[in-house]
Structure 1
Amino acid sequence: MARTADHSDLLSICWADRGMHRHWLLNEGQRLLDHYAKARVPSGFATLGHDGNMVDDTAKSLITARMVHCYALATLMGVPGAATRCDHGIDALLDGPLRDQVNGGWFSDASATLDNPSRKNAYLHAFVALAGASATIADRPRGTELMEAAITIIDQHFWLEDEQSMLPSFAADWSDPEAYRGANCNMHTTEACLALADATGETRWLDRALSLAKRFGHNIPKTYDGRLPEHFDSGWNLLPDYDVNEPSDDLRPWGLTPGHFAEWAGLLLKVESACTARDYEVPDWLLPDAITLFDSATDRGWAPDGKPGMVYTIGWEDEISIANRPYWVQAEMANTALMLSRRTGDPRFEHYYRLAWDYIASTLIDLEHGGWRHEVDADGNLSTVVYPTREDLYHDFQATVTPLIPLSASVAGGLRTQLLATTT
């Protein structure tokens, strides 16, 4: 007599291993790719509003770089039209007004000029490097050109070898270096370094990712009880009151950002995967610290007011600062929960993976206007306190791809590995 699976057996089968869930993720990813194609303008990609229409047709460097990265991933997945959109963004970053053809690097948007320049910031340039690396892995014609251009700028200006971190910003002519050190630009630099390691095969990028992971994923959280403060002066002294009057800033808010705890936890797992793949000695703190950071994110950030969703920021006593629920926070929670579930087999991480996607599906996905609502309040109503527009599909699209690939150093590298495995 055949054994009938009981309820607990069914719950033990991860969503990411179920055909219908994977089909759902592919469909949602395609919907996002189609929606954000509307943001294409001659000089790159611009900004969409909450109604799904363009609100500002000025090309933005950050949006364009993220679009190149995502459409490079879609190219690896075999999505028709993705390569054309990827190449359009690459051309815009290399040849158009987004690039400073005199001083090098990239302006914030196409409206900047030498007479009215924007500062050059590490956060943006990390994404240009990520775009170049992903496009190189996807074998786009000018992907390596973009990647090498970004590497040159990072090596010449942003990377501080003695500190093993990024200097956050300069004036347009590379004068006036900012007397600040922050976690956010270094978080995305870690992601970029892992992709550059996959694209180039050069171990220096993994060395940099390891150094960044040790500082921000191990040393700092160990000092602050599993919390990850983000703002420091140039001597790495904590700035607890940084942006105290700007608690809703979209890149450097006051206080602590639980979503970044989760995002760094995921990066530690990616660094571990990269070390294993390259026969590096794997630091014994990577996995336990990833678990600690994720637990800190969910314990402090998920539903602290009794309502579902992870809040944007908390204060130094773990009190809620900004209760609104941004889209990227939930996406990164889902990504890291999935990776921890696969890495450990612990069902509690599968629980959080499902919790995050249930919240995303019920509250954030906008079937009327397209895309995801970028921010909602505690009751699930659209809010614009932190994110007044919908800029790109970077976080949400990656969340639809991560469960489809093996745990890997970079998303593009994981897609390449999976593709090669199916053709051998």
Structure 2
Amino acid sequence: MGLGWFGAPEHNRWLADETHALLRFARGAAVPAGFGWIGSDGEVDTSHPVELWITGRMTFAFSLGALMGIPGCRRFADHGVRSLSKVMRDHERGGWYSAVRHDLDAEGRGVPVDPDGRKECYQHAFVMLAAATATAADRPGAHELLREAMAAQDRYWWDDTYGMPVESYAADFTDPEAYRGINAAMHTVEAYLAATDVTGDITWLTRAVQIIDFAVNVQARANGWRLPEHYDTSWHPRPDYNKDEPAHPFRPYGVTPGHGLEWARLTVQARGALVARSLPVPDWMLDAAEELFERARLDGWRVDGAPGFVYTTDFNGEPVVHERMHWVVCEGVSAAAAIRRALLDDGRGEIEVEHYEHCYRSWLDYAEEFLIASPGVWTHELDRDNRPSTRTWAGHPDVYHALQTTLIPRLPVWPAMGQALAEARLDKPAAHIPIKAQPARRRGLFGRP
């Protein structure tokens, strides 16, 4: 086995330097209403409004920086909490606007780009993630923001009939969309895991595992570990959805290998949360994470004659969109680190984790060669020849994926990142409780057949 990078002082120094650089770069996104879209020149691109998902992600990022004690991050985390609490909230109808203008009104509130625009599960998930992480950092107003975000999840987004989230509503929370998406469900899982660790309320963990059960143990398993992205309101797959718009930034046609990697990471993180609480652990979780990881690697990595992950494939694993998105390799690095750690915590040996070491090194080398234009500046999209592209993404919208890539290798699988940093677990990634999984043999344990 080659020299391992995990835990090596100089490797951790490289990760830490990139963490700091990303957070320095992210400061340029701050605008009065929240955080804007950073353009290719490093300045806010005012052709984009202030979007809820970006403000949520940036608040999450600066809250992590505050937890690490990086000077300056607290004021940006606080700016994000204020923006989510006051500026981007719909104070009359509930929930949060998807986008507001850059400048505030006379009362210091945001001016929605479209007051009657739809409210989206995907975007609200990042409000909850930001609020939970800011709460872990004990930022002013974060606790109240988290209570509001959790109340909105209970009232609007959680559909107990299917044990899955609703996709979107009209502005007044009527007219639910006749569509369900695995992307919004995935980020809901992430938010629920963060909320579990901050609040201690296992309702959120139970729901997160229920979503994972459906997405991973039911849908991915039934489709050769290629997870369908799009569904009808009864959660039946819609395999031809957006076939005429295959490179859609949020709802692309076909299979997205990057989401397979992301679900693999979330699966082992949820499993860690169950183990930590001595709750029954479905016996499929770790194996399923490895299956998802391997299918995404085989379908996505270096499959068209050049290094990098293709954006999408069809259901036979053939590439559809060849562009390389930075977030996909970020999720590959993070998944490799998380699965490796989960295997070690489970008592596996070095030989069993060597594959993940190799993938981790290869994909970070790719990021260093092709994606990182300068410290903290990650090109968000490349073409199939690894040249900068703007087919789907222009500029550098946020630092969310890249920042996690620099931190997950230094943290334990559980708890969630904010709580792990609050517990001073940085560079102490080994499980701090005995791993004694309690297998729950029946599939669909958390409400799905």
Match of 1:61 in 2: 52
1:245-256 equivalence runs, <5 A: 245-256=244-255
1:95-244 equivalence runs, <5 A: 95-96=86-87, 98-111=88-101, 113=112, 116-244=115-243
Q: Look up the equivalent residue of 2:374 and give its one-letter code.
A: L
Deviation at 1:224, TM superposition (A): 0.4
1:2-401 equivalence runs, <5 A: 8=1, 11=2, 13-56=3-46, 58-96=49-87, 98-111=88-101, 113=112, 116-344=115-343, 345=350, 346-367=353-374, 371-401=377-407
Deviation at 1:36, TM superposition (A): 1.1
Range moving further from structure 2, 37-46 or 48-57: 48-57
Q: Distance in 2 between matches of 1:210 and 1:400?
A: 26
Q: Distance in 2 between matches of 1:152 and 1:274?
A: 22
Q: Distance in 1 between matches of 2:384 and 2:307?
A: 8
Q: Look up the equivalent residue of 1:138 and give its one-letter code.
A: A
**Contact between 2:420 and 2:426, CA under 8 Å: does it hold in 1?**
no
Which consecutive segments of 4 or more residues in structure 1 shift more than 6 A?
Answer: none
Deviation digits for residues 280-313 of structure 1, max 9, x if unmatched?
1111000000000000000111111121111110
Q: Distance in 1 between matches of 2:415 and 2:331?
A: 15
Q: Look up the equivalent residue of 1:318 and give its one-letter code.
A: G
Change (3 A) 1:82 1:236: same
**Contact between 1:407 and 1:414, CA under 8 Å: does it hold in 2?**
no
Deviation at 1:153, TM superposition (A): 1.1
Secondary structure of residue in 1 paired with 2:320: strand
Deviation at 1:133, TM superposition (A): 0.4
Range moving further from structure 2, 350-359 or 410-419: 410-419
Q: Distance in 2 between matches of 1:260 and 1:420?
A: 26
Deviation at 1:342, TM superposition (A): 2.0
Q: Look up the equivalent residue of 1:74 and give its one-letter code.
A: G
| TM-score calculated relative to the size of structure 1 | 0.94
Change (3 A) 1:36 1:421: closer
Deviation digits for residues 134-170 of structure 1, max 9, x if unmatched?
0111111211111111111111111101111100000
Secondary structure of residue in 1 paired with 2:135: helix
Deviation digits for residues 169-225 of structure 1, max 9, x if unmatched?
001011110111111001000011100000100010110011011011111111101
Q: Look up the equivalent residue of 1:92 and give its one-letter code.
A: S
Match of 2:431 in 1: none
Q: Look up the equivalent residue of 1:338 and give its one-letter code.
A: A
1:413 aligns with 2:419: yes
**Contact between 2:50 and 2:99, CA under 8 Å: does it hold in 1?**
yes
Deviation at 1:421, TM superposition (A): 10
Deviation digits for residues 95-130 of structure 1, max 9, x if unmatched?
11x211110111111135496432100000011000
Secondary structure of residue in 2 paired with 1:219: helix
**Contact between 1:231 and 1:242, CA under 8 Å: does it hold in 2?**
yes
Q: Distance in 1 between matches of 2:415 and 2:40?
A: 33
Q: Distance in 2 between matches of 1:356 and 1:154?
A: 35
Q: Distance in 2 between matches of 1:183 and 1:264?
A: 10
Deviation digits for residues 46-66 of structure 1, max 9, x if unmatched?
011112122117422111111
Range moving further from structure 2, 218-227 or 325-334: 218-227
**Contact between 2:311 and 2:323, CA under 8 Å: does it hold in 1?**
yes
Range moving further from structure 2, 169-178 or 408-417: 408-417
**Contact between 2:51 and 2:100, CA under 8 Å: does it hold in 1?**
yes
Q: Distance in 2 between matches of 1:401 and 1:333?
A: 14
Match of 1:4 in 2: none
Q: Distance in 2 between matches of 1:273 and 1:279?
A: 10
Change (3 A) 1:142 1:286: same
Q: Distance in 2 between matches of 1:394 and 1:27?
A: 16
| TM-score calculated relative to the size of structure 2 | 0.89
Deviation at 1:273, TM superposition (A): 0.6
Secondary structure of residue in 1 paired with 2:378: coil
Secondary structure of residue in 2 paired with 1:300: helix
* RMSD between superposed Cα atoms in Å: 1.6
Task: Name stretches of at least 5 consecutive residues in structure 1 with no aligned partner.
Answer: 1-7
Q: Distance in 2 between matches of 1:384 and 1:237?
A: 33
**Contact between 1:103 and 1:172, CA under 8 Å: does it hold in 2?**
yes
**Contact between 2:7 and 2:427, CA under 8 Å: does it hold in 1?**
no
Task: Name stretches of at least 5 consecutive residues in structure 2 with no aligned partner.
Answer: 102-110, 344-349, 429-449
Q: Look up the equivalent residue of 1:106 and give its one-letter code.
A: W
**Contact between 1:180 and 1:233, CA under 8 Å: does it hold in 2?**
yes
Change (3 A) 1:350 1:281: same
Q: Which one of 408, 416, 428 corresponds to residue 402 of structure 1?
A: 408
Q: Distance in 2 between matches of 1:238 and 1:407?
A: 31
Secondary structure of residue in 2 paired with 1:366: strand
**Sequence identity percentage:** 39
